[in-house]
Amino acid sequence: MNAGSIFFDTNFHFHDGNDGKKLFIVLGYDKGIVLVVKTTSQPYGRGIAYGCQPNDRFHNFYLPVNACYLKKSTWVCLDEFYELKQSELLQKRFSGVINHICDLTPSITRELQDCAIISEDLTAKQEIIIKSCL
């Protein structure tokens, strides 16, 4: 799993304890941990200018239609980060629970990573994971 890879998880485990279907993007990986963020196609008052939206109510990165492979305008949620075990992700991928959708271009991936690094919700450990893949 590379930084910038987008996956669809039919059984994503959210921080609130619920499980559901969700697109997520890999920001980085290090020592068996994959750092991912979820996405949404619901604007919920978020900005619609391409790229980093640090001043929105919830820090995000906006990908309009045609910015990448995704068929809907998409906001990458940079107010919640998920540290997932690489071994569990691979197992879910081999069993068909997780499917690879596409990869962001290297330039968009870097912009997204740079935007994530300035998030107030990112821990120092998570920042190291992202920076290890820059």
How many domains is the chain partitioned into structurally? 1
Residue 68's pLDDT is 87
Rounded to whole angstroms, how far apart are CA atoms 51 and 54? 10
The CB-side HSE value for 90 (13 A sphere, CA atoms) comes to 8
Q: pLDDT tens-digit profile of 33-68? A: 999 999 999 988 899 999 999 999 999 999 999 888
Strand partners, 60: 53, 77
Q: What is the mean pLDDT of the chain?
A: 95
- Tell me which residues of the chain have a pLDDT lower than 50: none
Structural domain range at position 51: 5-131
Provide the β-strand partners of residue 36: 26, 82
Beta strands in the chain (DSSP E): 5-13, 19-30, 33-40, 51-53, 60-63, 74-77, 82-85, 98-103
Beta bridge pairs of residue 23: 8
CB 3 within 8 A of CB 21: no
pTM, to two decimals? 0.94
Q: What is the pLDDT of residue 66?
A: 85
